Structure 1
Amino acid sequence: MEKNNLHVVMFPFFAFGHISPFVQLSNKLSSHGVKVSFFSASGNVSRIEKMLNPSPTTQIISLTLPFVEGLPLGIESTSDLSPASSELLKVALDLMQPQIKTLLSDLKPHFVLFDFAQEWLPPLASELGIQTIFFSVFTAIATAFLTVPSRLPDPKRVPTIEEVKLPPLGFPQTSVTEMKTFVAQDFLYIFKSFHGGSSVYDRVLTGLKGCSAILAKTCNEMEAPYINYIKDQFKKPVLLVGPVVPPPQSDVLLDSKMSKWLDQFEEKSVIYCSFGSETFLNDDQIQQLVLGLELTGLPFFLVLNFPSKLDASDELKRSLPEGFVTRLKGRGMIHTGWVQQQQILGHISVGCYVCHAGFSSVIEALVKDCQLVMLPFKGDQYLNAKLVSEDWKAGVEVNRRDEDGYFSKEDIRNAVEIVMVEDDEDEMRKIIKENQKKWRDFLVDDNIQQKFVTDLVKDLKAMAAP
């Protein structure tokens, strides 16, 4: 095959936590001469245009979302919807099959890379002679623990909390054994049906069983036991693209006000804390978090976000402990809304990142040489935290109460101190720092990361060859 012959369609779910990895992969593939047609709802196109590298072989194809009762017109990603309303995006997706079939008939790509919610795509594409690849934006550990056939031998029965706490039958012998009760309670969401549609578990399993191959955003170096288990469960090719490390934004300077504030502090002394744009802490969680950061005695930069319908500044004033801002004047900065996260993490004074353990955040922290403290809040984040803290021993997870996930200010302080307080006698701290350095060296090795993409393109060409 000629280099420019390979043509893939990218079709992520309408959530930027899913769109971003598809964009990052598109940028990697287009740099290797692969033609990319990127599908998304029209309301997301302008933001995607800013994220995609300009290339003559890359195009964005705007999709029309059908009318769904209860889904506000013009709202076409989860970032502007409540979790309940977001379920209606899956209803809209299911109604888009004729539109997708027409587009694929015209484009005739070699592959469609699709997401968890489009389980109807493999048979539709197969009719047109197009191969499908389920691109999992989650870690292999998350797929292996939650969405394999062994998880639910009787697909008509919803599992109990006690069953979901335990790994599925045949799960590899690793540090991951049993999850806490509050985590299992969160996992039960994927087995629930909304608006008469399939559950997340059913969608994922049907998609994984029906696709031509599975593509995972990971590698054997990071997750070999879980990758091998997935291969055994689905009996089909599992392609690997590595962690898809984003390129450094070396030409973008940090805002001068924030830079000036961070410049005051010693190298690697500042805690940066953020949970992304779609994770919202309740008042008690905010209070324990900020009081815990205060107890560390270290300077910190905290980003707190609130649902879009609320006034962020009012919510922030209401949720913080009385007198907190006055007490920490000069030592703590609290911000709402978007920030230049890569630039903040890359600042010389920032030494620790407290985050929700979304895997992109984990990778960012390691690349920027920040110690990791993880406070997961939903889904795959809990399993990512186990992977990093227990399998890799490259970060710390905040201790939580079993039944409800409560954490105290002392739990926050204790987790931060493990990675931030110098103690030559602390063996665990030494192990974590050594492993953090090992993974950073691996992630910033451009030759290693480039080879993942080169090998993937070779694999795709071999699959596409007549």
Structure 2
Amino acid sequence: MASRNNFDSSTPLHVVMFPFFAFGHISPFVQLSKKLSSNGVKISFFSAQGNVDRIKTMLDPSTTTNIVSLTLPHVDGLSPGLESTSELSPASAELLKVALDLMQPQIGTLLSELKPHFVIFDFAQDWLPRLASELGIKTLFYSVFIALSTAFATVPSRINPETKSPPTLEEMKNPPPNFPKTSVTSLRTFEALDFLYIFKSFHGAPSVFDRVLAGLKDCSAILAKTCKEMEGEYIKYVESQFDKPVLLVGPVVPEPTSSVQLEDKWANWFNQFKTSSVIFCSFGSETFLSDDQIKELVLGLELTGLPFFLVLNFPANLDVSDELNRVLPEGFPGRIGERGLIHSGWVQQQQILAHKNVGCYVCHGGFSSVMEALVNDCQLVMLPQKGDQFLNAKLVCQDLKAGVEVNRRDEDGYFNKEDISEAVGIVMLEGDKDYSKSIKENHKKWKDFLMDKNTHNKFIQDLVKDMKAMM
């Protein structure tokens, strides 16, 4: 193979990793970097200067990964030093894409100097395949979303062939033409409304849909964070839509946390309760619930009668104590007492989910969080908030049948305290014993699959072989 494709097998494969400037994207790129590096691949990791220190903490201390700092060009409205979406409002975050587009000369110079074999890139860099191709470098579009998300929302058949226009609300609610027959048959109105965002253009730049479609069409191959066992039909559909191979990383399972213990103040609180009796509730670092959502959520948790640990986020400029006093229902803290704990800020999520007394995880459906739950024994209750999270929930709850989604109103996604209590009750209180038993059995099946190290090592070994064969 090496003689035919002129790739010297004695030379390490050199790969540039280039995620979008959002830690929900950077994190899976870091995880993949670590897996490739452990299989002899040389890694150069591109990110804005302001993200470098945090990326270093995510890599192993002994890593050989070379982090390459990028300089963001000036963009009106984008404050200097704010270089990831976690530091910006959604409107300001759109300007990061504008800055990224202006970085093409800088990226071209770096690639000319580094001469990697591949660039693994993200959705926002739709211009990268053309630039890399001119330098003789192959490109892999790495989708950090599940294959269902790509198959349902960002395929060529989403555009009406006659009008060349984006889908209407009613069209967005239904799958695109020739979509595989699975448990996922439609979106609710509020979900489809949210997805229409990807077809909007900001600051004269391409829409998310346009960027994704261009990147997928022009790359050498597509790289997906999934496996055929979980998403076989969706993977086939994506391959047919783009007429190119989809290489599989496998579902990226979080590294074990046994070397890092849960802080005593949290461990002591969890230890008060019975095995598998505590609800852990968190919605990721970039989700801010509305006042009404918070009120119904906490009342729903109260209604279960079970102990709970709730993590809420508030904008950095607000006083957390004042906000809690304002939004919590009257008399709530007194009624809950010691069985309810509300915290704002970062927590050791992996260690909490692994605690033997945590029996249920109520979450937004970010897929990294879903994986962290599936490799533990805590049952999943999903309350997705935006975009791909809606489809993550459908995959887990409808296709895999390994979790429960909170019931919501079709037009606006409203939920009440009974909806929360009912969903938690299915997996914790066995309101429907047969349904609850089935969910728990499926959860265990997927846990066993995800914990099989040999299977996941083979995904990466096969990926490296496929990349070398492309040279």
Q: Same fold (TM over 0.5)?
A: yes
Q: Which residue number in structure 2 is paired with residue 358 of structure 1?
A: 366
* Mapped contact 1:4–1:34 kept (Cα < 8 A): no
Q: 2:76 aligns with which of 60, 69, 72?
A: 69
1:338 aligns with 2:352: no
1:34 aligns with 2:37: no
3-state SS in 1 of match to 2:338 = coil
Q: Which residue number in structure 2 is paired with residue 240 of structure 1?
A: 248
Q: 1:318 aligns with which of 280, 302, 326?
A: 326
Match runs of 1:35-434 below 5 Å: 35-55=42-62, 57-154=64-161, 156-422=164-430, 426-434=433-441
Supply the RMSD in Å over aligned alpha carbons: 1.1
* Mapped contact 1:3–1:34 kept (Cα < 8 A): no
* Mapped contact 2:160–2:166 kept (Cα < 8 A): no
* Mapped contact 2:44–2:67 kept (Cα < 8 A): yes
Percent of paired sites with the same residue: 72
* Cα distance in structure 2, aligned partners of 1:3 and 1:49: 28
Unmatched tracts of structure 1, length 5 or more: none
* Cα distance in structure 2, aligned partners of 1:333 and 1:214: 43
* Cα distance in structure 1, aligned partners of 2:359 and 2:11: 43
Which shifted more, 70-79 or 242-251?
A: 242-251
Deviations 1:13-48 (A, max 9, x none): 000000000000001111111000000000000000
Q: CA deviation at 1:322?
A: 1.3
Deviations 1:195-236 (A, max 9, x none): 000000000000000000000000000100100000000001
Q: CA deviation at 1:4?
A: 5.2
* Cα distance in structure 1, aligned partners of 2:160 and 2:135: 32
* Cα distance in structure 1, aligned partners of 2:10 and 2:221: 21
Q: CA deviation at 1:400?
A: 0.4
Q: CA deviation at 1:3?
A: 5.6
Q: CA deviation at 1:167?
A: 0.3
Deviations 1:109-146 (A, max 9, x none): 00000000000000000000000000000000000000
Q: Which residue number in structure 1 is paired with residue 462 of structure 2?
A: 455
* Cα distance in structure 1, aligned partners of 2:466 and 2:345: 41
Deviations 1:96-117 (A, max 9, x none): 0000000000000000000000
- Residues 1:56 and 1:393: Cα distance change in structure 2 (over 3 Å): closer
Q: CA deviation at 1:246?
A: 1.6
Q: CA deviation at 1:450?
A: 1.1
* Cα distance in structure 1, aligned partners of 2:192 and 2:10: 46
**Structure 2 letter corresponding to 1:24:** Q
Q: CA deviation at 1:313?
A: 2.8
3-state SS in 1 of match to 2:415 = coil
* Mapped contact 1:193–1:199 kept (Cα < 8 A): yes
* Cα distance in structure 2, aligned partners of 1:205 and 1:385: 24
**Structure 1 letter corresponding to 2:439:** I
Q: Which residue number in structure 1 is paired with residue 5 of structure 2?
A: none
* Mapped contact 2:397–2:405 kept (Cα < 8 A): yes
Deviations 1:306-358 (A, max 9, x none): 12232333222211111111111110010000000011111110011000111
* Cα distance in structure 1, aligned partners of 2:243 and 2:320: 48
* Cα distance in structure 2, aligned partners of 1:347 and 1:437: 16
Deviations 1:40-78 (A, max 9, x none): 000000000010124463100000000000001100000
Which shifted more, 313-322 or 385-394?
A: 313-322
* Cα distance in structure 2, aligned partners of 1:282 and 1:198: 30
* Mapped contact 1:164–1:188 kept (Cα < 8 A): yes
3-state SS in 1 of match to 2:109 = helix
* Mapped contact 2:249–2:460 kept (Cα < 8 A): yes
Q: CA deviation at 1:156?
A: 4.4
**Structure 1 letter corresponding to 2:411:** E
Deviations 1:243-270 (A, max 9, x none): 1112111111111011000000000000
* Mapped contact 1:394–1:436 kept (Cα < 8 A): yes
3-state SS in 1 of match to 2:422 = helix
* Cα distance in structure 2, aligned partners of 1:36 and 1:150: 35
Deviations 1:133-174 (A, max 9, x none): 000000000000000001113484232111100000010000
- Residues 1:158 and 1:254: Cα distance change in structure 2 (over 3 Å): same
3-state SS in 2 of match to 1:372 = strand
* Mapped contact 2:17–2:46 kept (Cα < 8 A): yes
1:18 aligns with 2:42: no
* Cα distance in structure 1, aligned partners of 2:215 and 2:397: 30
* Cα distance in structure 2, aligned partners of 1:368 and 1:3: 40
Which shifted more, 174-183 or 453-462?
A: 453-462
* Mapped contact 1:4–1:33 kept (Cα < 8 A): no
* Cα distance in structure 2, aligned partners of 1:156 and 1:440: 43
1:7 aligns with 2:14: yes
